[in-house]
Structure 1
Amino acid sequence: MAFFNKVKWILGILIVFVLIVTTNLIDKNNFIRVRDAVVTIYEDRVVASDLIFDLSKSVQEKEIAAALLDTTFFYNRSEQLDKNILELLSRYDQTKLTKKEKKTLNNLKSDFEDLKVSENILINSNFIEKRSFFNTISDIQENLYNLSKIQLSEGKRQMSISKKAVDKLEIFTQIEIYLLALLAIVIQIIILYKPKQRQETE
C-alpha cells in the first residue's frame, strides 16, 4: 500500500504542476499581446499622429506664405522648414508601417520633392506661377489626411486586440479558479481514499 500512496501523491502533484504551467503559458501569451498592443498604440500611432500634425503645420506655413506673397519667408525660412520636413518624414519612416501606410508615405515623400520644384518655379516666376505650387500642397494635404485616418484605423485595431486579450485573461482566470477548486477536491479524494480490505473469515 505504501507504493500505491506514493503513486497517488505523484499523480496529484503532477496534475497541479501541469495545470499551473499550462495556465501560466496562456496568461503569459495574453499579457504579451496586451503589452505589444499598448506599445504599438503609443510608439507607432500616437507618435505618428504627432508627426503628421507637425508636417501639416509646416505645409500650412508654406501655403500661407505663398498666399500672402511673403518673399522673406521663401528666401529665409523655407530652407530650414524643408530640413525639418525631411527629419519628420525620416522619423515617420522608422515607425511600424502597414502596407497601405508605407505606400501613402512614399507618395507623400514624392509630393514634398515636387513641392521643392514647384516652389522654385513660384520664386523664379516672381510669385506669378502659383498653380503648380498649390496643386502640390493639395496633394500633400490629401496624403496627410489619409495617413491620419490610417492612425485611427490601426489604433482601433490595436485596441481591439488588447481588449480581446484582456477578455481572454478574465475568462482563463475564472476557469483557473474553478479548476483549482475542482483539483483540490480531486486530490483530497485521491489522498484520503483507502480501498476496503477484505476481512478474512476464520
Structure 2
Amino acid sequence: MTFLNKIKWILGILLVFVLIATTNLIDRNNFVRVRDSVVTIYEDRLIAKELIYEMSKSVNAKEIALIAKDSSFFNKKNQTLNTQIEGILSRFEKTKLTPEESKIFEELKSNFKALFNSEKNGYASNSENNLTATGLISNIKDNLDKLSKIQISEGSKQLAISKKAIDTVELFTQIEIYLLVFLAIAIQIIIIYNPKEKQ
C-alpha cells in the first residue's frame, strides 16, 4: 500500500468518524430536549392540573357549606381543609411557573389568605362576612380556572417541542444513512480504483 493510499484510507475513516460523532451529538441533544419536555409535561403540567383539581374540590366544599350555612362544617372540618389547601399551594409553588402563571398564582394565594381571615370572623353572625367570602370564593374559582387553562396551553407547547425534536432526530437519521451509503460507495471506489501507471 502506497503512502497516498494510506492517506486516502485515513481521510475516509476520519470522515466517517466525524459524521457519526456529529450526528450522535445532534441526536443526543434532541433526545435531551424530548426527555426534558416529557418531564415538564408530567411534573409541571399534569401534577399542577391535579393540584388545581384538589383545590377546586376544597373550594366547592367551602362554597356548599357557606350557602347551606353549615356551622358544623366550619367548626369541625374547615381548619383541616385550610391546612390541606396550604399544603397544596406549597406543592404548586414548587412546579415551574410561567410569568403569567406566577401572577395568577400570587392572586390565588392572596385570595385564599383573605378567605381564611374572613372565615375566622365567622359567617353565621355576619352577613357582610358572608358576602365577602362569597366574592373571594368566586375570585378563587376564577384563578383556578385560569391556571387550569394555562396547564393545557403549556402542555401543548411542550408536546410541540418534543415532536419537533423527534422530527429532527428522524431527519438526521435519514441524512446519516444516505451519507453512510455514499461514503461506503466512495471508500469502495477509492479501494478498487487503481490508476494505470505510465510505462
Q: TM-score range by the shorter chain?
A: over 0.9
State the AA in 1 paired with 2:7: V
Matched, 1:109 2:109: yes
State the AA in 1 paired with 2:143: N
Contact residue 122 and residue 133 of structure 1 kept, 8 A: no
Shift of 1:57: 0.4
Q: Secondary structure of 1:96's partner?
A: coil
- How far apart, in 2, do the equivalents of 1:97 and 1:187 lie? 53
Shift of 1:171: 1.0
Shift of 1:69: 0.7
The alignment-based identity, stated in percent, is 57
Matched, 1:135 2:135: yes
- How far apart, in 2, do the equivalents of 1:94 and 1:50 lie? 14
Matched, 1:28 2:31: no
State the AA in 2 paired with 1:161: I
Counterpart in the other structure of 2:19: 19
State the AA in 1 paired with 2:53: F
- How far apart, in 1, do the equivalents of 2:22 and 2:151 lie? 36
Shift of 1:181: 0.5
Matched, 1:82 2:82: yes
- How far apart, in 1, do the equivalents of 2:195 and 2:122 lie? 99
Shift of 1:127: 5.0
- CA offset digits 1:117-158 (Å, max 9, x no partner): 2223343x5253311010000000000000001000000000
- How far apart, in 2, do the equivalents of 1:190 and 1:138 lie? 78
Counterpart in the other structure of 2:100: 100
Counterpart in the other structure of 2:125: 126
Shift of 1:193: 2.1
Equivalent positions of 1:42-191 (< 5 A) are 42-123=42-123, 126=125, 128-129=127-128, 130-191=130-191
- How far apart, in 2, do the equivalents of 1:153 and 1:13 lie? 48
State the AA in 2 paired with 1:66: L
Shift of 1:90: 0.3
Shift of 1:2: 1.7
Counterpart in the other structure of 1:5: 5
Normalising by structure 2, we get a TM-score of 0.96
State the number of aligned residues: 198
- How far apart, in 2, do the equivalents of 1:187 and 1:36 lie? 39
- How far apart, in 2, do the equivalents of 1:195 and 1:96 lie? 65
4+ aligned runs moved over 6 Å, structure 1: none
Contact residue 8 and residue 190 of structure 1 kept, 8 A: yes
- CA offset digits 1:159-202 (Å, max 9, x no partner): 00011111111111111111111010111112222222101xxx
- How far apart, in 1, do the equivalents of 2:125 and 2:173 lie? 71
Structure 1: segments with no counterpart, 5+ residues: none
Structure 2: segments with no counterpart, 5+ residues: none
Q: Secondary structure of 1:103's partner?
A: helix
- How far apart, in 2, do the equivalents of 1:126 and 1:104 lie? 32
Normalising by structure 1, we get a TM-score of 0.95
- How far apart, in 2, do the equivalents of 1:164 and 1:93 lie? 29
